């Protein structure tokens, strides 16, 4: 079990006080805080390596290139990828999904009458790009419904899956409810039907061991800032055979082998999909973040976060009129509403007591509509949270409820 008190020392921002209260940061599903080790990696790049990569012959360019490509190896190993060239660096999960949507449009993979399958639990980033793709191609978007407990209706999924399904795009863990979807089984069923599969692992990456070969999908995306790395950096993993069959989306430097005014020959993987100067510092810092969580152990982190989520659920259960969303076993996310109180008022007053939570629709408006609500209050846990944080959160929530009633 991680020693959260010693780990907190790695995160300078957690020393802050909000209105004279110690900061209790429970908004980790939105973004995680950054340890010194990650910030040191960012600073090291700018202080010791700062140079553009891949084409320079001078010492700084060579050193920056080596460090950047070593980071790609780190990410590939972290995901258990079959080859390093399957790792494409992006600006984040949203960017990765849009990359896949756009190259599928360019490739002619989807035709009028084809279907894309997503779920009710999806973040807007895994809805809107597919709506846009359907508008461009004439394909149809189909939605897997969910039960009242926030789990997906597997019978409906089986019915919706058919020979017209060309893509299943599915979140691994719901950012709104913490539902963990059975992605391995659903991926196998979709591929058996002949569909490509994209997994949104934005919420899974900080909590679960990811083995893309065991998962069986064709694409997987995640964001660095949810796994203790900076904002503006993310990863698209794609099966090499699939990536090689698809055209590039953005044109520019790095993604080419040869350019004339008459013709351009595109580069090999991964560079075919990495046009322009990349976020070099972000890539290096992402590798540092993955090294950090792997040194602690993702299984140990998941065990801690599960214990804290259960403890918070139990502590808040005594509040009259509280309703939890999602299944009883949630992944590091506790989403709830309290009868007669608006989530915004609750979150605002919790902030006055130093407790940072997220309120609103969590970029999941269709899911909120399914449950007849405008939003929830969401607490989400990370490796540096503790039992003391849970107690402070529960006490502050009870106090706010008493004030508002």
CATH code for the domain in which residue 54 is found: 3.40.640.10
Instruction: State residue 303's pLDDT score.
Output: 96
Same domain, 130 and 195: yes
Please, is 402 exposed, middle or buried when counting C-beta atoms within 10 Å of its C-beta (0-12, 13-18, 19+)?
Answer: exposed
Q: Which of 261, 294, 327 is the last residue of a domain?
A: 294
**Model confidence pLDDT, tens digit, residues 2-17:** 777 789 999 999 999 9
In angstroms, the CA 151 to CA 369 distance is 16
253 pLDDT exceeds 90? no
Residues 228, 342 within the same domain: no
Tell me, yes or no, whether 266 and 392 share the same domain: no
> Domain limits at 241?
39-294
Would you say 324 and 77 are in contact if contact means Cβ atoms under 8 Å apart? Answer: no
CA distance 145 to 161: 13
SS3 letters for the chain?
CCCHHHHHCCCHHHHCEECCEECEECECCCCCCCCHHHHHHHHHHHHHHCCCCCCCCCHHHHHHHHHHHHHHHHHHHHHCCCCHHHEEEECCHHHHHHHHHHHHHHHCCCCCCCEEEEECCCCHHHCHHHHHHHHHHCCEEEEECECCCCCECHHHHHHHCCCCEEEEEEECECCCCCCECCHHHHHHHHHHCCCEEEEECCCCCCCCCCCHHHHCCCEEEEEHHHCCCCCCCEEEEECHHHHHHCCCCCCCCCCEEEECCCCEEECCCCHHHCCCCCCHHHHHHHHHHHHHHHHHCHHHHHHHHHHHHHHHHHHHCCCCCEEEECCCCCCCEEEEEECCCCHHHHHHHHHHCCEECEEECCCCHHHHHHCCCCCEEEEECCCCCCHHHHHHHHHHHHHHHHHHC
pLDDT digits (tens, 9 = 90+) for 167-217: 999 999 999 999 999 999 999 999 999 999 999 999 999 999 999 999 999
The chain-wide mean pLDDT, for the chain, equals 96
Confidence of residue 1 (pLDDT cuts 50, 70, 90): low
Cβ atoms < 10 Å from Cβ of 74:
21
Same domain (yes/no): 222, 312: no
Q: Verify that 208 and 168 share a domain, yes or no.
A: yes
238 CB-near residues (< 8 Å, 6+ apart): 86, 88, 100, 218, 219
- List pLDDT tens digits, range 357-386: 999 999 999 999 999 999 999 999 999 999
Asked if residue 11 lies in contact with residue 35, where contact means CB atoms within 8 angstroms, the answer is yes
Q: Which of 270, 294, 318 is at the close of a domain?
A: 294
Q: Are residues 315 and 364 in the same domain?
A: yes
Length of the chain: 405
pLDDT, mean of residues 295-312: 97
For residue 350, give the nearest of 401, 314, 384, 315 by alpha carbon. 401
Say what the pTM is. Answer: 0.96
More reliable by pLDDT, 250 or 228: 228
Domain boundary among 294, 310, 337: 294
Q: How many domains does the chain have?
A: 2
Same domain, 65 and 91: yes
Looking at the fold, whether 311 and 233 belong to one and the same domain comes out as no
Q: What is the pLDDT of residue 377?
A: 98
Question: Who's near 178: CB < 8 A, 6+ residues apart?
Answer: 309, 326, 327, 330, 331, 332, 333, 334, 335, 380
Do 183 and 223 reside in the same domain of the chain? yes
Catalytic annotation present for 363: yes
CATH code of the domain covering residue 8: 3.90.1150.10
N-to-C CA span, the chain: 39
Mean pLDDT, residues 56-62 taken together: 93
If asked whether residues 80 and 200 sit together in one domain, one would say: yes
For residue 8 the two structure tokens come to: 């907190």
Q: Are residues 195 and 231 in the same domain?
A: yes
219 in the same domain as 94: yes
pLDDT tops 80 at residue 353:
yes
Angle at 17 (CA atoms; ends 14, 22), nearest 5 degrees: 75
């Amino acid at each position: 079990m991680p020693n959260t008190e010693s780990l907190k020392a790695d995160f300078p921002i957690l020393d802050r006080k909000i209105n004279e209260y110690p900061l209790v940061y429970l908004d980790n599903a939105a973004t995680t805080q950054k340890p010194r080790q990650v910030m040191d990696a960012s600073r090291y790049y700018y202080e010791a390596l700062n140079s553009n990569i891949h084409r320079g012959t001078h010492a700084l360019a060579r050193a920056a290139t080596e460090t950047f490509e070593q980071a790609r190896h780190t990410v590939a190993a972290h995901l258990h990828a079959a080859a390093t060239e399957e790792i494409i660096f992006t600006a984040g999960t949203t960017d990765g999904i849009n990359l896949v949507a756009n190259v599928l449009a360019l490739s002619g993979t989807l035709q009028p009458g084809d279907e894309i399958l997503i779920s009710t639990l999806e973040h807007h980033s895994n809805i809107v790009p597919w709506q846009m793709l359907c508008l461009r191609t004439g394909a149809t978007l189909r939605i897997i419904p969910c039960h009242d407990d926030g789990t997906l209706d597997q019978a409906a999924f089986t019915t919706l899956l058919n020979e017209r399904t060309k893509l299943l795009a599915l979140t691994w863990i719901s950012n709104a409810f913490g539902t963990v979807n059975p992605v391995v089984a659903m991926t196998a069923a979709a591929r058996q039907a002949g569909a490509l599969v994209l997994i949104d692992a934005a919420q899974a990456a900080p909590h679960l061991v990811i083995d893309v070969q065991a998962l069986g999908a064709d694409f997987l995306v995640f964001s660095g800032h949810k796994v203790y790395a900076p904002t503006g950096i993310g990863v698209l993993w794609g099966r090499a055979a699939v990536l090689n069959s698809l055209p590039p989306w953005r044109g520019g430097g790095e993604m080419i082998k040869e350019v004339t005014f008459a013709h351009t020959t595109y580069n090999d993987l991964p560079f075919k999909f990495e046009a322009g100067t990349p976020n070099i510092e972000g890539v290096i810092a992402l590798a540092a973040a993955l090294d950090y969580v792997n040194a602690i152990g993702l299984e140990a982190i998941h065990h801690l976060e599960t214990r804290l989520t259960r403890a918070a659920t139990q502590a808040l259960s005594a509040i009259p009129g509280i309703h939890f969303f999602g299944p009883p076993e949630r992944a590091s996310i506790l989403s709830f509403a309290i009868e007669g109180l608006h989530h915004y008022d609750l979150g605002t007053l919790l902030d006055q007591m130093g407790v940072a939570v997220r309120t609103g629709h969590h970029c999941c408006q269709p899911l909120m509509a399914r449950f007849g609500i405008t939003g929830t209050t969401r607490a989400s846990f990370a490796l540096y949270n503790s039992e003391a944080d849970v107690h402070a959160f529960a006490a502050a929530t009870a106090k706010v409820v008493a004030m508002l009633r």
